[in-house]
Structure 1
Amino acid sequence: MEDGISSFWGPVTSTIEWCEKNYVYSSYIAEFFNTMSNIPCILLALIGLISSLGQRFEKRFSVLHVSNMILAIGSMLYHATLQHVQQQSDETPMVWEMLLYIYILYSPDWHYRGTMPTFLFLYGAAFAIVHSQFRFGIGFKVHYVILCLLCIPRMYKYYIYTEDVYAKRLAKLYAATLLLGSLCWLCDRFFCMEISGWPINPQGHALWHVLMGFNSYFGNTFLMFCRAQQRGWTPKVVNTMGILPYVKIEKPKTQ
């Protein structure tokens, strides 16, 4: 896609371009909508981080929210520049984040607790090194999908064992935003030629960013509720100004 009127960052070196014309609004931002659509992701992750720190949840959730922000920032750099190095700053945190989800989902029932974080850390470090030296196309996507699929059975288990109606609603919102966001991603990726002929480009990849920002927030909040139940913290899902849900807990005085 050679649509750009000018390019501050030079020729495109990333392995993937998306269905958005390059450098339409600024010579410093290659894909404007795909870049700016990461801002809601950062804000939602920041809200989650404030909630986690304010109520003294375990550090794993603070790290999870921070990783969401890092991923969104990496995505902004990638879409703003369309450079291979910045593409890695998007893709590598994607894998790190999924490894963190695997840890949060499976660690409560893992009998050898010291081995899981060590293995996941070494795996993430090894992937970052290999990914920095080699370009992966379909291989990266397959690898990422496998990591996502590893999380689904555990999320479903948490869902069926959760009786709270509002917590279940979080899980349903998580699933809905994931499905809708995936549809936007697929349409933008595989039907670009048709979409480019429309009077208005719906910016499917930008919609994917926004929906995945909410997806991460709903998923994180649901996991915080489940973990609070495991710890006996009497969690309750409440809404900020009647809009955005978060988990309110009451820890026993002994904790």
Structure 2
Amino acid sequence: MWWPLPSFPYPPSKDGFWNPVTSTLNWCEEDYYATIYSAEIVNTLTNLLFMGLGVKGIISCRRNQHDQIFLVAYLGYLVVGTGSFLFHSTLKYPMQLVDELSMIYTTCLMVYASFSYTRPTHVRLILGISLALLSVLITLYYHYIQDPVFHQVAYAILTTVVVLRSMHTMEVTLRPRWRNSREEDRLERQRQGLPVPTKERQHYENVRDMKTLKTMWFMVAYGLSIFLGGFAIWNLDNYFCSSIRRWRRQVGLPWGILLEGHGWWHVMTGVGAYLYIIWGIWLRHCLNGRQDDYHLRWAHFWHFPEVIRTTPISDNGVSRAKKST
């Protein structure tokens, strides 16, 4: 295949520092062609995005005082990126477990965050214990059968559950027709002696929440498109591996890097998962009725968004702004 751009040929594979390979998976990227210290150099370095966004999220959670569950989720996100970095560097089975099982554990944390909100203490306790047991069972069974398909199916089911739950919560919380915005609901709140917003305040909240809902749905569609697009590229990489390896060597370096499908999976799933956590943080503030205390900073869709505090914090950690009713 003729290639018009300047390039240099792929070097031959070498004996690696971490040999022998003990993982149950080995991806389409050729092993140890760039350096003896990294089995799959592109698959390794693309995890730096995961790690960088994990650190960014942890700093943001601490600076903006988001709920602690999201700080733990970002820590899990960082462990996923670090585990994948180590796995693709070494292709060792223990590092494979760190990579793949941390994905399960982090997703279970997000399941807990989605289903435990406003639940009684005993329900949260039961949910936490159940998810912990589920994580242990998945770990033990996966270690027993060592079948990557089992891990992928378990991860897909957990991810689908948490995304669908968050979508439902978002719609019920923010769309005015599902909230207590009708006149009969206002009268019922008055009868019960509960605070009732003025009609002007209710109109402001309806407009604000519809705008938020529109942006959230764009974020969901954008994040899912990136995530599923990465999954599709990864599968094409697996299915057409022999042809893709031949094309890489024909176009040479550095252009062959663009044909590393699993590396694209890292980049795209990293962005998609980051967007999901940002969405979860923003949704939690909406559930807490703190839409006026926080806002989404996202100038362009190619930027990484961040939920930041709008109102300042007093010395005792309480927002100084007063919300009108």
Output the TM-score relative to the length of structure 1: 0.90
The aligned runs of 1:162-173 (5 Å cut-off) are 162=174, 163=210, 164=212, 165-173=214-222
Q: Are 2:280 and 1:247 equivalent residues in the alignment?
A: no
Q: Distance in 2 between matches of 1:137 and 1:71?
A: 16
Which stretch of structure 1 is more off in the superposition, 170-179 or 79-88? 170-179
Q: Are 2:274 and 1:217 equivalent residues in the alignment?
A: yes
The aligned runs of 1:159-238 (5 Å cut-off) are 159-161=170-172, 162=174, 163=210, 164=212, 165-198=214-247, 199=251, 200=256, 202-234=259-291, 235-238=294-297
SS at match of 2:297: strand
Task: Figure out how many residues of one structure are paired with residues of the other and give that number.
Answer: 252
The aligned runs of 1:27-42 (5 Å cut-off) are 27-42=36-51
Aligned partners of 1:19 and 1:196 also within 8 Å: yes
| Offset of residue 152 of structure 1 | 3.1
Aligned partners of 1:88 and 1:131 also within 8 Å: no
Which stretch of structure 1 is more off in the superposition, 146-155 or 11-20? 146-155
Aligned partners of 1:167 and 1:237 also within 8 Å: no
Report the counterpart of residue 121 of structure 1 in structure 2.
Answer: 132
Aligned partners of 1:7 and 1:30 also within 8 Å: yes
SS at match of 2:61: helix
Aligned partners of 1:240 and 1:246 also within 8 Å: no
User: Percent identity at matched positions?
Assistant: 25
Do the aligned partners of residues 61 and 240 (structure 1) sit closer, same or farther apart at CA in structure 2, a change above 3 Å counting?
Answer: farther
| Offset of residue 239 of structure 1 | 3.2
Pick from 92, 96, 114 the counterpart of residue 87 of structure 1: 96
Question: RMSD in angstroms over aligned alpha carbons?
Answer: 2.3
| Offset of residue 136 of structure 1 | 2.5
Which string of whole-angstrom CA distances, capped at 9 and with x for unpartnered residues, describes residues 66-85 of structure 1?
A: 10000100001110111111
Aligned partners of 1:170 and 1:221 also within 8 Å: no
Q: Which protein is bigger by CA-based radius of gyration?
A: 2
Q: Distance in 2 between matches of 1:210 and 1:146?
A: 21
Report the counterpart of residue 153 of structure 1 in structure 2.
Answer: 164
Amino acid at match of 2:306: Y
Report the counterpart of residue 143 of structure 1 in structure 2.
Answer: 154
Q: Distance in 2 between matches of 1:8 and 1:66?
A: 29
Amino acid at match of 2:307: V
Do the aligned partners of residues 32 and 115 (structure 1) sit closer, same or farther apart at CA in structure 2, a change above 3 Å counting?
Answer: same
The aligned runs of 1:19-34 (5 Å cut-off) are 19-34=28-43
Q: Distance in 1 between matches of 2:107 and 2:300?
A: 31
Amino acid at match of 1:35: T
| Offset of residue 149 of structure 1 | 2.3
Gaps of 5+ in 1: none
Q: Distance in 2 between matches of 1:240 and 1:54?
A: 20
Q: Distance in 2 between matches of 1:181 and 1:96?
A: 21
Do the aligned partners of residues 158 and 171 (structure 1) sit closer, same or farther apart at CA in structure 2, a change above 3 Å counting?
Answer: farther
Report the counterpart of residue 68 of structure 1 in structure 2.
Answer: 77
Report the counterpart of residue 106 of structure 1 in structure 2.
Answer: 115
Aligned partners of 1:14 and 1:82 also within 8 Å: yes
